[in-house]
Structure 1
Amino acid sequence: MTKVAIITGISSGMGKASAKYFKEKGFEVYGGARRVERLQDLQELGIHTQKLDVTDKISVRALVDRTVKEQGRIDVLVNNAGYGEFGPIEEVPVQKAKQQFDVNVFAASHLTQLVLPVMRRQKSGRIVNISSIGANVYSPLGGWYYATKASLNMWSDVLDSEVRRFGIRSVIVQPGMTKSEWSKIALENARQNLADNSPYSDMVDKLDSLFGKLKTSASSEDLAKVFYRAATDVKPKRRYFNSIVDHGMVMIAKAMPHTYRSILNQLMK
């Protein structure tokens, strides 16, 4: 029996690489993104694509209904769509903070609510929520982004405790820095969110330097394989990491918060 996956945010980065990898592994893959012009190559691979705004209920419902109509089942949902609304907490408009939660948390919740009845009927399913090591580690200017990822972690754990009895699992993947557009967009947002003559303007350059110091060899293709393990492991873990470095940073931040703060202060100098 061919398994079916829905993956959000497949126009670039980890989402795009995951759509390709799941297809290579034999899944029927459905997904979308707002930038449909970036989906042509996925369509040519046989991936079922469409325009998708995860904050639009009609758009999301159309994706789920199409998947069920054409395949009759949904085995995996990968809640990958997300972005970083960086900027000083004092200066980021509340509306932008709400939008950050809408995309990174509430959109995942809405999609999950739509697929759970299908998975319960099947008595099986996997919800893979793409969080970040930023759910535990942090830097200046990322407060709202990190808050969404910490929320997603807790939300996923509670969901898992509720749906395990139906044969469904909810798990978290926590990527670290990867070769993608994410950090560039986050820094652009940080600069856009600075007020005129902001006392925080120097922090953006320091954060840019910090991101540069955190060089990584992790590619979107590497993370696609982690997504796949999280989606298919017979005995899934609560958390998935791409590397021991990512896992180690989280462990230090959780177990030794003062040590983490000292390291961060040194890196931001």
Structure 2
Amino acid sequence: MADTQDDETGETPPREGKLKTVLITGCSSGIGREAAKAFLDDDGWTVYATARDTDDIADLGEAGCETAELDVTDENHVRQVVERVLSETGRIDALINNAGYGQMGPIEEVPTEVVHEQFDVNVYGPHRLIRAVLPHMRERERGTIVNVSSVGGRVSHPGGGVYCGSKFALEAMSDALRSEVEPFDIDVALVEPGPVNTSFGDEMRARTDKLERSGAYDWFYSVIEDTQLIGGGGFGSIEAKEVAETILEAANSPNPSPRYPVGQFGKLSSLARLAPDPIRDAVFGIVRRFV
């Protein structure tokens, strides 16, 4: 049942002690889970934590979050969850588009249908959520959208074209959206972590193992199998909690930055985009020959 509207403002009054509402995707593990906890610990937020399987976030419900099943590739799921939040709280002050995964592999060896699956989650998913919440945010003339990207959304690398392509697309959409919604006092921010100590790397390697290999790119698979650089506690990795705190900072800020690189590796890597293409290509060539 929806709360009774305030006679003066026409808005649904916030829940007792709660001033704002946040909707977070991909809360089953890693950054999304830590983000739900961070918002819950920050006084004033009603937190809607979502995942494809609500069993994975049952403990977040016990901790005080509202939980919901949400597959970001399902238009009906997106619409139903947004309608539920608005019915129960009358507001969505912040949308955190966190759900995503990494598909690595040489461009030649990643089937087109797998590329589509990557974009369906990492690009079309956030787009579905944004389209669902924007009419409400525009009507209220307030709100913040935080899209969780990656340093891979600024600098691509061999074997990462599909994943980086999805993050490049998310960054481009965010840049356009930021200007489009500025007249409605809606903010858009990108959070760009480097390697994060989560299960991301293990899941990425599992997907890479399923690719049919031609033998032409064995050097790449050697790098993937021998390094923990992409998630999982390798060099330069940070904890998911640090990323979550940055997401919370962006959502709480009255004037958030367009981009928030997170971690030293992330901040340094983002500067690599300033290097001339031939220099980056030469560096990647040295790595390939060394492997």
Q: TM-score, normalised by structure 2?
A: 0.87
1:202-221 per-residue CA deviation (whole Å, 9 max, x = no partner) reads 42122333444951341011
Map 1:203-218 → 2, pairs under 5 A = 203-212=220-229, 215-218=235-238
Give 3-state SS (helix, strand or coil) of 1:177's partner.
coil
**CA distance in structure 2 between the partners assigned to 1:144 and 1:17 by the alignment:** 26
Closer/same/farther in 2, CA of residues 145 and 260 from structure 1, 3 Å limit: same
Which residue type is aligned with residue 246 of structure 2? Answer: V
1:241 aligns with 2:261: yes
Identity percentage of aligned residues: 35
Residue equivalent to 2:25: 8
Aligned Cα RMSD in Å?
1.7
Worse overlay, 16-25 or 242-251:
242-251
- The 5 A counterparts of 1:116-131 are 116-131=134-149
Letter in 2 for 1:115: V
| Structure 1 gap ranges (5+) | none
Gapped regions of structure 2 (runs ≥ 5): 1-17
Instruction: Give matches, 1:1-269, under 5 Å.
Output: 2-26=19-43, 27-195=45-213, 197-212=214-229, 215-268=235-288, 269=290
Distance in 2 separating the partners of 1:186 and 1:163: 34
Q: Choose 1 or 2 for highest CA Rg.
A: 2
Amino acid at match of 2:283: I
1:126 partner SS? strand
Aligned-partner Cα distance in 2 for 1:29–1:117: 20
Cα deviation digits, residues 121-179 of structure 1 (max 9, x gap): 21100010011100122332211110010111110010011001101011111111010
Where does residue 13 of structure 2 map in the other structure?
none
- AA matched with 2:248: Y
- SS in structure 2 at match of 1:39: helix
Match of 2:150, as an amino acid? S
- Aligned-partner residue type, residue 239 of structure 1: R
Distance in 2 separating the partners of 1:216 and 1:41: 30
In structure 2, how many angstroms separate the alpha carbons of the residues matched to 1:77 and 1:232? 12
- CA distance in 2 between partners of 1:121 and 1:98 (Å): 33
Does structure 1 retain, via aligned residues, the 8 Å contact 2:38–2:245? yes
Query: Aligned partners of 1:200 and 1:255: how far apart in 2?
Result: 25
CA change 1:203–1:12 in 2 (3 A) is same
Q: 1:201 to 1:217 in 2, by over 3 A?
A: closer
CA deviations 1:173-205 (Å, max 9, x no partner) are 11110101111111221121133x532244212
Which one is further off, 133-142 or 259-268?
Answer: 259-268
Normalising by the residue count of structure 1, what TM-score does the alignment of the two structures yield?
0.94
How many Å separate the matches in 2 of 1:192 and 1:5? 36
